[in-house]
Amino acid sequence: MDLLAIVSGFGIGAIVGMTGVGGGSLMTPLLLSVFKLHPAVAIGTDLWFAAITKTAGSASHHQSGHVDWRIVRLLLSGSIPASLGTIALMHLTGVTKGWASALTFSLGIALLLTAVAVAFKQIWVQVGRWLERWIDDGNRPVLTATCGLVLGVLVSLSSIGAGAIGATLILLLYPKLASHRIVGTDIAHAVPLTLVAGIGHATLGNVAWALLGSLLIGSIPGIWIGSQLTRKMPEKLVRTLLCLSLVVAGLKVIH
pTM over 0.75: yes
What is the pLDDT averaged over residues 56-78? Answer: 90
For 79-127, the DSSP string reads: HHHHHHHHHHHHHHH--SSHHHHHHHHHHHHHHHHHHHHHHTHHHHHHH
User: Can you give the pLDDT at residue 102?
Assistant: 62
pLDDT at residue 209 greater than cutoff 90: yes
CA 111 to chain centre: 11
Overall number of domains in the chain: 1
- In this prediction, residues 1-27 reach a mean pLDDT of 77
> Would the pLDDT of 96 be above 60?
no
Alpha-carbon span 77 to 64, nearest angstrom = 25
Position with higher pLDDT, 240 vs 46: 46
Cα–Cα distance, 117 to 128 (Å, whole number)? 12
Question: Per-residue confidence at 185, pLDDT binned at 50, 70, 90?
Answer: very high
pLDDT tier at 145 (50, 70, 90 boundaries)? very high
Largest CA distance in the chain: 55
Per-residue pLDDT at 48: 93
How many percent of the chain have pLDDT more than 70? 84
The model's confidence at residue 166, banded by pLDDT at 50, 70 and 90, is: confident
Of 160, 156, 182, nearest to 239 by C-alpha is 182
Cα–Cα distance between 132 and 253 in angstroms, integer?
Answer: 33
Distance CA 44, CA 216 (A): 14
Residue type at 174 in one-letter notation: Y
At 9, the pLDDT band (50, 70, 90 cuts) reads: confident
| Highest mean predicted confidence (pLDDT) among 75-84, 161-170, 230-239 | 75-84
Q: What is the pLDDT of residues 71-83, one digit of tens each?
A: 999 999 999 999 9
Boundaries of domain holding 171:
3-254
Residue 18 confidence (pLDDT): 72
Q: Is the pLDDT score of 104 beyond 70?
A: no
At residue 97, does pLDDT exceed 60?
A: no
* Mean pLDDT, rounded, of the chain: 82
Least confident of 24-33, 48-57, 151-160, 226-235: 226-235
Residue 118 confidence (pLDDT): 64
Query: Which one, of 25, 158, 30, 21, lies nearest residue 87 by Cα?
Result: 158
Instruction: Decide: 164 and 25 in contact? Cβ < 8 Å.
Output: yes
